[in-house]
Copies of this chain bind each other. A is one copy, B any other.
Amino acid sequence: MAQRHLDPKDPTAEVATGNALAGYLRTHATEFLRALRLHRETGGATGTGPESVDAARALRRSARRISGSLHTYRPLLDAAWSESMRPELAWLSGTLALEHAYEARLERLLQALHRLSGAAVIPEQATVPGGPAPSPPGRGNLTVGAAKAGALLERQLTLARTRAHSTALQALGSSRFHAVADKVALLASEVPLTPTAPTTDLRPLAGAARERLTDAVTALPLVTAGHPYNAQALVHGLSPDPAPHPQDGSWHQVRLLLRLHRYACEVLGADAAADTRVLTAGQCLDRHRDASEAAAAAAQAARTPRIAPATAYALGVLHADQRHEVEAARFAFQRAWQRDPVETV
C-alpha cells in the first residue's frame, strides 16, 4: 500500500474515512494470505529455513495489523464479527512469536555471558587446514561458571524453542487456524463496515488511540527513569516474588499502545514509524521487554535443582546485568520521548 503522508492539521488534506480502513484491512488480509502460501511452499509443517522464518514473520506482521485496527476502529466494524476475530488473531500471532522469542533470548544471554567474561563474542572461525581445531563458537575464554550457565541456558531455551516450534506447526495445521484463515480470506474481498462507516472521519478514533498511549506514558515513572543509575530496575532482584518483575508491566503496556498508535496512523495513510521519535521509543521498549524476559530466564535457570554454586553465581551476575539493561532501556525511552510531544495524528 502506498503511504500518503497526510498532515492531520492541514484542513485541505484528504480526510481518511472508513473506506481507508477497509482498504487497509483488505491490503493486510491479502498480505496474510500471501505469507501463508509462502509458508506452505517453503517447508510448511517442517520448515525452519530462512524463507519459512520470513513467512512466519510476515504472517505475524499482518495478523498484528489487522487485529490492532479492529481494536482501534471497532465502532466502524460489525461488532460480533470483530469481537470473534480479534482473540483468534492474537492467539495466532502469539503462538507464532514464541519460537523466535526463545531463540533471540538465548542469543542475548550468551552474548551477555561473553561480554561479562571480558571476551569478545567469537565469530565463526574458518578452519585452517592442518591448523588447530577451532574452539566451539561462543565458548572461548569463559569461566567454569559462565560456561556452565551458558550450557544450562542453551539446554533450557533450546528445549523451549523446540516445543514452541512444534506448537506453532500444530497451530498452523489446526481447524482453529483454518477457520481464521477462512475469515481473513473473506476479509480480503469484503470488509464488514457499519452502514455509516464509509464516510466517517477516522481521526477521532485514531486520536483516542494516541490519547491512551500518552496517558499510559504519563503514568510511567519517567522522572526516575531520567536519572541515570537510579537502581530501580534491580530493586526486586532478590525479592521472594517470582519473576517477571511487576514494575515492568506498565512499560510492556506502553509498548503495546505505541504499536496500536503506529497501526492507527498507518490506516490514516501516515507512517508513524517515519517519525524517528516513535521509532526510537518503540525500539527502546522492545529492548526493555527483551531484557526483562532474559533476566527472568536467568533467574529461572538458577532455580534448577543441583546446579553448582559457580553456575548459580554466574546466573546471578547475568540476571543483574539484564535488569541493568532494563533500566538502561527505560532511560533511553525517557530521552527519546521527552524530545517533543506526540503530534503525529
Contact = CB atoms under 8 A, between A and B. Distances in A.
Given A240-B141, A308-B309, A331 B228 contact: yes
A26 B122 CA distance: 61
A286 to B, nearest CB: 16
Contact of A316 (B118, B229, B235, B319): B319
A317 interface: yes
Nearest to A141: B240
Interface in A295-324: 302, 307-321, 324
A124 interface: no
Nearest to A309: B312
Contacts of A320: 316-317, 319-321, 324
A239 B118 contact: yes
A302 B311 CA distance: 11
Contacts of A342: none
Contacts of A237: 116, 317, 321
Q: A-B pairs with the 7 shortest C-beta distances?
A: A316-B316, A320-B320, A228-B228, A229-B328, A309-B312, A313-B316, A312-B312
Interface in A147-199: none
Given A116-B234, A309-B302, A239 B316 contact: no
A327 interface: yes
A10 interface: no
A141 B240 CA distance: 8
Contacts of A325: 229, 231
A234 B317 contact: yes
A238 B316 contact: no
B328 A228 contact: yes
A239 B120 CA distance: 12
Contacts of A317: 234, 237-238, 316-317, 319-320
Contacts of A311: 309
A145 interface: yes
A231 B234 CA distance: 15
A4 interface: no
A287 to B, nearest CB: 11
A241 interface: yes
A236 interface: yes
Contacts of A228: 228-229, 328, 331
Contacts of A142: 238
A113 interface: yes
Contacts of A332: 229
A115 B142 CA distance: 30
Nearest to A322: B320
A143 B316 contact: no
